[in-house]
Structure 1
């Protein structure tokens, strides 16, 4: 009988090139089951550099996949929602929907940037305004909502859900750390879309339980804009995440610029979020045009390939 150590090594060998990262800390795994496949997958995922909570999610999913299919295959990677305990769609408690392809997604520091990028043709914009002054927040959110009127831009408000409801924004974006403080029922009842950040399997599953409008995944590449709890995930993991979360509109974020667009889009996401690629550009409007053209060219190429 193959030992769980041999099974773990087979998993690592099959996926190291696409999914492996250097483990931050090597520790003896803590197992919550005696099932050999679970134990093998838990060890393998830790060796591949997944953090503990994500390795645990994956190990249980691998066990479920093996029971469902009737065989263990180290070359497979769990990507079926039912193996992760996710509910089927449609869901009566889901937030309002948004397009599967959100396109270029600009994360912007204030309303002035929102109006500038909306007028430049960015299809999805997010106001990420940082201030402890409630009145300043309300003014900025109202100004951003007014800024996108007359354009085709969809506006999400980062964090400030109450101001977003009051101003009639298109949607709200929340980080995992903000979920406990937000009234999700009020956001849903107001008809606003909800986007949620995620940085790995455990956070994706937590987001999925809330049935948001979209899920953002990252950081894909190194970024200096925000201190991340997890290492940059890379496009191999992004593709694995996208396969599991295929029922959602998906947004890739973190260190993405024009040169990286093709490999990010190839992962299966329908939107790419950018920050510095626009706000730090010498000519932001020209940068918008270039990024949109690159995205459209990539999609046209894929359509041509599918039709050939």
Structure 2
């Protein structure tokens, strides 16, 4: 039996009643463009647009909701999709995939994103377990020197060093891992991605919603970063702040990965972020703009380690 437009509208309203308070309603939602005739799909996409999801993510959730309905044999407006199977993600656990990148600790703890090698060394010596060098330059020699300096700066501290973007320099310097944004990931040829994998570097990937999580899962990275959770002035974001409700949903979907929440997170917001179950929180201004950066590292680290159960950097 095919549902009428009225039935589909009622299904969409049921989804909004079940999840509107959690996600919030968009002030002026865009009109959904449909690529399938499935009734659950159409209802879910209409609802997701009303909940403020961008088109590509609304499409992703709608298709997952249709798959969930087909799998269960019934439509349930209260059951927000969280199964990787329904999203078309890989079935095998990451550790069993032949294309998986080297694993990293499930609980990465406090994750400091830092502008230069001096800051990475300073935070590593202050006990931050995971640091990322986000060095911005178009000078290849300067990049190479800064990456090598960062590797030297964290040596002996136990800190895990990820290099943002500059994967060739990271391989040459022997860094622990590389972090890539979606555009960086899309720009890599398969053989270049393979070079990072074969070198044994861990790979972290930034995601800003469902579609990007599905895209990242396709390459079996070491961890997923999810954000921006809250507004941030550090960089122009392509999407609006995701908020805690979406972060919670994302964490459920990607639970087999180590997860890093990022974007506008400070000491006050930290407990609510950790309550979603993520095992790591990335910060920038909360450290580098603090009057006492080392003190901020200790304070934030203790909160995260207590909430995630990290012991001895594990």
TM bracket (short chain): over 0.9
C-alpha RMSD over aligned residues: 1.4
1:111-168 CA-partner distances (Å, limit 9, x unpaired): 0000000000000000000001110000000000011110110000000000000000
TM-score under structure 2 length normalisation: 0.93
Structure 2 partner of 1:167? 173
Structure 2 partner of 1:283? 292
Structure 2 partner of 1:15? 19
Q: 1:16 offset after TM fit, Å?
A: 1.3
Asked if the contact 1:281–1:287 (Cα under 8 Å) also holds between the matched residues in 2, the reply is yes
Segments of 5+ residues of structure 1 without an aligned counterpart are 303-308
Q: Give the alignment of 1:215-234 within 5 angstroms.
A: 215-234=224-243
Asked if the contact 1:217–1:252 (Cα under 8 Å) also holds between the matched residues in 2, the reply is yes
Structure 1 partner of 2:61? 58
Q: 1:12 offset after TM fit, Å?
A: 1.0
Q: Return the alpha-carbon distance in structure 2 between the equivalents of residues 21 and 273 of structure 1.
A: 28
Structure 2 partner of 1:207? 216
Asked if the contact 2:176–2:202 (Cα under 8 Å) also holds between the matched residues in 1, the reply is yes
Structure 2 partner of 1:3? 7
Q: 1:221 offset after TM fit, Å?
A: 0.4
Structure 2 partner of 1:80? 83
TM-score under structure 1 length normalisation: 0.95
Deviates more, 1:42-51 or 1:81-90: 81-90
SS of aligned partner of 1:251: strand
Q: Return the alpha-carbon distance in structure 1 between the equivalents of residues 99 and 186 of structure 2.
A: 18
SS of aligned partner of 2:291: coil
Deviates more, 1:133-142 or 1:80-89: 80-89
Q: 1:13 offset after TM fit, Å?
A: 1.3
Q: Return the alpha-carbon distance in structure 1 between the equivalents of residues 156 and 83 of structure 2.
A: 41
Structure 1 partner of 2:104? 98
Asked if the contact 2:280–2:304 (Cα under 8 Å) also holds between the matched residues in 1, the reply is no
SS of aligned partner of 2:186: coil
Deviates more, 1:173-182 or 1:40-49: 173-182
The number of equivalent residue pairs is 300
Q: 1:21 offset after TM fit, Å?
A: 4.9
Structure 1 partner of 2:70? 67
Structure 1 partner of 2:182? 176
Q: Give the alignment of 1:115-154 within 5 angstroms.
A: 115-154=121-160
SS of aligned partner of 2:206: strand
Asked if the contact 1:33–1:39 (Cα under 8 Å) also holds between the matched residues in 2, the reply is yes
Q: Return the alpha-carbon distance in structure 2 between the equivalents of residues 296 and 105 of structure 1.
A: 12
1:75-108 CA-partner distances (Å, limit 9, x unpaired): 1100001001111212111110001100000000
Q: 1:299 offset after TM fit, Å?
A: 4.0
Q: Return the alpha-carbon distance in structure 2 between the equivalents of residues 236 and 5 of structure 1.
A: 24
Q: Return the alpha-carbon distance in structure 1 between the equivalents of residues 199 and 306 of structure 2.
A: 37
Q: Return the alpha-carbon distance in structure 2 between the equivalents of residues 268 and 68 of structure 1.
A: 27
1:162-201 CA-partner distances (Å, limit 9, x unpaired): 0000000000000001113332111001010000000000
Segments of 5+ residues of structure 2 without an aligned counterpart are none
Which of 238, 241, 245 in structure 2 is aligned with 1:236? Answer: 245
Asked if the contact 1:21–1:50 (Cα under 8 Å) also holds between the matched residues in 2, the reply is no
SS of aligned partner of 1:215: strand
1:248-299 CA-partner distances (Å, limit 9, x unpaired): 0000000000111111011111100000000100110000111112223334
